[in-house]
Amino acid sequence: MLSITIENNKKRYLVYNNFRKNIFLKNSPKDAPVILYILPWLLSVNQPLVPGYIKELKEPFHVFNIENNKEIIKQENIFKRTFGIKEEKSLVRSHSQCPQILGIYTIGSVGTISQTSHSDCDIWICIDKSDFTAKNLQYLKEKLNFIKDWLDAKLKIPVYFFLSDIADIRQCNFGNLDFESSGSAQRNVLKEEFYRTTILIEGKIPFWWVCYEADEYVDYDQALTQNAGSDFGERDFINMGNLEEVKKDEYFGAALWQFNKSLTHPLKSIIKMLQLKMFLEAPREDLLCHKFRQTVFAGKDKTAFPDPSLFTMNAVLDYYSQHASDEYFEFIKQCFYLRYDLKLLSKTQTLKEEMTAEIFKKYKIDRRDIYRLNEFESWQLREKVAFGELMFKFLIDIYKDIVRIRKGISGEIAPQDLTIIGRKLSSSLELKEHKVSVLHVPTENINLPAFTFSPAGKVWQVNSSDERSLPLITNGNIIFCIAYIVWNGIYDPAQTRMLPNQTAVTIQEIINLGKKIRDVFGSFDISGVYFGNFLQKETVSKMLIVVSFENQKTNIDIYDFCIIYKNNWEELFVRRFTSIEKMKTFMGNIGAISHNLETHYYIQRNNIYYEKIIDRVKNMVTQMLANN
């Protein structure tokens, strides 16, 4: 009886999976077909004209079951014409001598209503490493890199591959402390998200998905063994491991990781932070992926299925409607609305609005707030920053609640993770002398206003074109103002202005120095800093010395220095010196704590002593650093 149930579940799952693919195709009509159909084909062929060609590979890799994918076979002639291949027979072989790729799966927002124009596409490429020689494994990695390069050039949606060994997935080994891991605890939290959000692009069906009975408990291992010996067999399924529960320490570890990401991209992470806090506060509840699977198989309509993001939003709103203040609950609804990029009450209603309409009838947002949120992209910069600051405050409150809940939880949380997050938080929030503060903008890729520089008495100020009455930044040092704009990611040379004034500074020099600062330091991105940096003592990693920026004299005597420097904790500072002795003392302190310091220089090109001054400053700085 169990075998019949599994076979029926398999049929239902494949219909659901097609439902998800169709949402992806509607969300990304140009990019989705490439990911869903061309990608598996590229992995299964090895021709010189095709992206991903490996000369040394004797036989092409084989994505499981690709030869039975009717859509790919139907479109293969188009694929071949695209790459200039004239061979008439199919390039997809059903019996490859090379090891198989067991499955290609998405994880995350792709193919859900939460997918936006800023979403990326994370893809797991699952294999059994024991079937691969060291050479073939290296060839597969190279092939994936070549294909990714081609996808990056062709698609708007960023695609990231994660080559995963099925044994590691079963054990929930998803990496150590790095840019794509929570550090000491992600594990089952990531598997829960995978089971709940994945789309099977091509390959084997996760056995967890079909190992389900509506009215009784099913022992996963027993069902796996029984299925392997049945007439249906295990051929179509992949054993990624069961998922019964997620321990509190794992939720806490995942919350640390999301908090890390939220320091740079708060809107992306706040939903997951809310979800993790909900799990921590109600650990005895069934896992969300279990509830979701139950809903998929319980549907009476053969064509109607739940959307993972909609399902998650509904669960989170249900919970916080009972466990949050009215003010916070209103803010949570607005965060969902912006994160999912909704436009209720607008003239054009997409699939997103249609699918979320019922939820926002249940948990209403005031009509005036809806119209205002619909115009979010055209908000003044100061309004967006104010919303971002509120969001950041909210995130810190969530984090404090999570830390409070964690008290008494023993487990695998490494002490260094707490140190890392604490120092990242300090880098983002702590005010220090000479430090360039960070604007907390809720979203990336905002529409930037024009920024106008102007002197006001003894200070410089920068005003934005969308709100001229209040300056965005005021400082006695114009270089600090320029660094502030660049460091906060809102510098655009085409949107930089200056009012006529009596100073020696020109708009072109402001633009030139802005470009130089951006080239040397980039903009603030705490989530991209190597975690290990925050376990080390503070050192200075980069330094830009600006010489006589506001001085209109063109002689060789130099007494005005401005030093912009960044430490290993992603903090940017600006110091100005009008005395060689004070600068020497400062350099001595820098030299004592910093090794392998990357040093750059800037002086106005119109200075007739440009080369001599640059050489003189370089020699002086080298001596100052060497003497300590």
Question: How do residues 49-89 score in pLDDT, each as one tens digit?
Answer: 999 999 999 889 999 999 999 999 999 999 999 999 988 88
**Amino acid found at 181:** S
Tell me the average pLDDT of the chain: 86
Cβ atoms 440, 266 nearer than 8 A: yes
- Count helices and strands (H / E) in the chain: 22, 16
* Residue 138 pLDDT exceeds 60: yes
Cβ atoms 486, 602 nearer than 8 A: no
Are 609 and 465 contained in the same domain?
Answer: no
DSSP, residue by residue, 488-538: TT---GGGEEE---SSS--HHHHHHHHHHHHHHH----GGGS-GGGGGSPP
* Residue 31 pLDDT exceeds 80: yes
Q: pLDDT tens digit string along 407-430?
A: 655 444 555 666 777 777 777 778
Residue 358, Ramachandran bin (φ over 0: left; ψ between -120 and 50: alpha; else beta): alpha
Model pLDDT, residue 177: 35
Q: pLDDT tens digit string along 44-58?
A: 999 999 999 999 998
Cβ atoms 472, 464 nearer than 8 A: yes
Model pLDDT, residue 558: 66
- Centre a 10 Å sphere on the Cβ of residue 89 and count the other Cβ atoms it contains: 6
Are 459 and 593 contained in the same domain?
Answer: no
Model pLDDT, residue 183: 42
Tokens encoding 213: 């009975």
DSSP, residue by residue, 404-428: HHHTT--SS--HHHHHHHHHHHHHH
Model pLDDT, residue 180: 40
Adjacency order of strands within the sheet including 159-165: 159-165, 121-127, 103-107, 199-203
Cβ atoms 564, 535 nearer than 8 A: no
* Residue 178 pLDDT exceeds 80: no
Model pLDDT, residue 211: 94
Average pLDDT over residues 513-519: 96
Cβ atoms 626, 591 nearer than 8 A: yes
Number of domains in the chain: 3
**What's the pTM value of the predicted model, to 2 decimals?**
0.84
Model pLDDT, residue 611: 63
Are 559 and 499 contained in the same domain?
Answer: no
Which of 490, 509, 524 corresponds to the end of one domain? 524
Q: Which has the closest alpha carbon to 105: 121, 117, 92, 93? A: 121
* Residue 42 pLDDT exceeds 80: yes
Please report which helix (H) or strand (E) contains residue 562, including its range.
Answer: strand 561-567
- Centre a 10 Å sphere on the Cβ of residue 152 and count the other Cβ atoms it contains: 10
Based on its alpha-carbon atoms, the radius of gyration of the chain, rounded to whole angstroms, reads: 28
Residue 142 maps to a domain: yes
Residue 92 maps to a domain: yes
Rounded CA gap, 561 and 152, in Å?
42
Average pLDDT over residues 360-370: 95
* Residue 553 pLDDT exceeds 80: no
Residue 226 maps to a domain: yes
Query: What letters, b where the CB count within 10 A reaches 16 and e where it falls short, cover 365-394?
Result: beeeebeebeebeebebbebbebbebbbeb
Are 539 and 509 contained in the same domain?
Answer: no
Are 553 and 478 contained in the same domain?
Answer: no
Model pLDDT, residue 179: 39
Are 77 and 38 contained in the same domain?
Answer: yes
Rounded CA gap, 609 and 554, in Å?
7
Tokens 């909704």 belong to residue: 342
Which range is least confidently modeled, 104-118, 146-160, 211-225?
Answer: 211-225
Are 491 and 548 contained in the same domain?
Answer: no
Are 102 and 215 contained in the same domain?
Answer: yes
Residue 418 maps to a domain: no
Residue 472 maps to a domain: yes
Length, in residues, of the chain:
628
Are 184 and 83 contained in the same domain?
Answer: yes
122 pLDDT tier (thresholds 50, 70, 90): very high
Q: pLDDT tens digit string along 477-507?
A: 999 999 999 999 999 999 999 999 888 889 9
* Residue 401 pLDDT exceeds 90: no
Model pLDDT, residue 264: 73
Q: Round to the nearest angstrom and report the end-to-end CA distance of the chain.
A: 79
Q: Which has the closest alpha carbon to 464: 475, 474, 453, 456? A: 453
Residue 369 maps to a domain: no
Are 508 and 595 contained in the same domain?
Answer: no
- The DSSP output letter for 447 is P
Rounded CA gap, 72 and 69, in Å?
6
Residue 107 maps to a domain: yes
Q: Dihedral through CA 175, CA 284, CA 198, CA 141, nearest 10?
A: 10
Model pLDDT, residue 92: 86
φ and ψ at 237, to 5 degrees?
A: -120, 150
Average pLDDT over residues 13-29: 96
Average pLDDT over residues 111-123: 93
Are 479 and 613 contained in the same domain?
Answer: no
Q: Which has the closest alpha carbon to 339: 378, 294, 309, 315? A: 309
Model pLDDT, residue 89: 87
Residues 6+ apart with CB under 8 A from 465: 449, 450, 451, 452, 497
Residue 183 maps to a domain: yes
Q: Domain span at residue 166?
A: 2-243
Are 501 and 579 contained in the same domain?
Answer: no
Which of 494, 524, 554 corresponds to the end of one domain? 524
Cβ atoms 489, 462 nearer than 8 A: no
Q: Is 109 strand, coil or helix? A: coil
Which of 215, 243, 271 corresponds to the end of one domain? 243
